[in-house]
Amino acid sequence: METKNRLFKVTVGVISWLLVAGGVVTAEMQMTLQDAINIALQNNLNIAVAYSQKDQAAAQLDYARALQGPTLSWQNQSQVNENSTYRPNPYTAPLNTQNQNYSNTFSLSYTIADAGLTSGKVGAADYNLKLQAAKVDSSRENIRFNTAYYFYSVLAASQLVKVDQEAVQRSQEHLKNVQAQFAVGTVAKSDVLRTEVELANNQQTLIRDQNRYKLAVANLINVLNLPLNTEIKLDDSELRYTRVGISLDAATDYGMKNRPEITQAAMQVGVAEQTLQQARAGQGITLQFQAQEVMSDGTFPGFSSGDSNASAAVVASFDIFDNGQTSSQVAAAEKGLAAARQQLDLQKLQTALDVKQAYLSMRDAEERIAATKVAVAQAEEDYKIAVVRYEAGVGTNLDVLDAHKSLTQAQTDYLSALYDYDTQLAALVKAMGIPVDAKDWLGLLAAEPSAVSDPILREIDGGAGPGK
């Protein structure tokens, strides 16, 4: 059923892709972050590969378990012998005789003990299935993070374009004011020239950031595996501050227990342990029960009243000397187990580092949000004062230009802080290994669990920023 559901989702995704690519759907696609993540999870081929590998591992486990049971085989042999006897008289035809024999052999075998060889194969296959399941989770979480990263990149680029447009508009309005004062002779020509240069610079910045926005959209569409000509409209309210109250120690502890990469490394240790068990089985005794019955007859198919012989035996086998093959396999398996354990330790260290980097970066951005928010308000007030003073003839054009530049920079810094905070929050979610399907993942992070809503969307009480 799980495979059918995945095939259905993939089919729906492909059909949607074809409709858009064929021009059937021309309307602009509106989506929230969760919408984008759902599309990416349905369309991404890496996830499809991960699921196929998991299904393969499940089939391998079934095969290994089948080795624990008895086997029954049947073999039919049809034999016809023809003999020619030549007589002394050359004019007499030879005497031809023909013998026919048909036999059926039924063989039953069952391994009573094999020093842990078969159980080792089952154990290794079981650990491998769990490893592949963890890879599926890891692939899904990577897709969620990549989608969130490029989603926020589009939102930040879009908001930055708006900042640039406002900067251009303010420059144009100021230029009109300067030109009017120059016309009546109250300011110098240099004021007009400086303001025109400032306007040109702001227009260039707008053009550059508009192109960056288009590139950000293209990157997001590529992650969603949609045609590059797809028109999308994102929910601007997604780019905002969401209070997170979890401590670094709690986040690290959660990551150690839930990070799929740690699970993969732990399962790899299990596989290595079972591989060592299989190698050591070569040093033990194998006991096998064997039974056989042979039925033969002169008429096909050989089940008529003919001869029947039955036998049963318990066979013990032990390799007395194998020129060091088994000991070499054991040594290699032991080294493989040691390497797997070291890799697990490395992954734990990497997880702790990933959580700490994302957490501290998020806290840094959080502080910058509060600081830049105040700076924006102050810069807006300073710009208004500079404009009024210039219009009254008690301020200089340089004061206005400096205030305008400070305002634009403060707005840009605020957007950058919001973008850094949201992307680092997404990185923290990935580093901690919070499942993609978790419905209350923010409850693990939020200072007030009652504020939790749908995962990823983070629609919390209007998204009040720090200081509100």
pLDDT digits (tens, 9 = 90+) for 307-316: 778 899 999 9
Report pLDDT for 295: 85
Report pLDDT for 90: 62
The larger pLDDT score, comparing residue 335 to residue 245, is at 335
Report pLDDT for 83: 65
Banded model confidence at residue 440, pLDDT cuts 50, 70, 90: low
pLDDT in tens, 247-273: 999 999 999 999 999 999 999 999 999
Contact status, residue 109 vs residue 317, Cβ threshold 8 Å: no
* Mean pLDDT computed over 297-322: 81
Query: How many degrees, rounded to 5, is the angle at CA 179 between CA 190 and CA 173?
Result: 110
Q: How far is CA 226 from CA 12, 14, 160, 206, in A?
A: 13, 9, 25, 27
Return mean pLDDT, the chain: 86
Banded model confidence at residue 456, pLDDT cuts 50, 70, 90: very low
- Residue 391 CA to residue 384 CA, distance in Å, equals 11
* Mean pLDDT computed over 371-377: 96
* Mean pLDDT computed over 294-312: 76
Report pLDDT for 452: 32
Helix (H, G, I), strand (E, B) or coil at 246: coil
Q: Cis bond leading into 227, ω under 30°?
A: no
* Mean pLDDT computed over 435-455: 56
Query: Is residue 13 predicted with pLDDT exceeding 60?
Result: no
What six digits make up the tokens of 101?
A: 């024999």
Query: Is residue 222 predicted with pLDDT exceeding 70?
Result: yes
> Which residue ranges form the domains of the chain, and what is each CATH number?
29-65+120-282+325-463 (1.20.1600.10), 69-81+94-113+284-318 (2.20.200)
> What is the helix (H) or strand (E) element at residue 367, kind and residue range?
helix 325-392
Report pLDDT for 78: 81
* Mean pLDDT computed over 363-372: 95
- Residue 94 CA to residue 84 CA, distance in Å, equals 6
Banded model confidence at residue 204, pLDDT cuts 50, 70, 90: very high
Report pLDDT for 26: 45
Query: Is residue 224 predicted with pLDDT exceeding 50?
Result: yes
* Mean pLDDT computed over 56-85: 87
pLDDT in tens, 128-138: 999 999 999 99
Report pLDDT for 245: 87
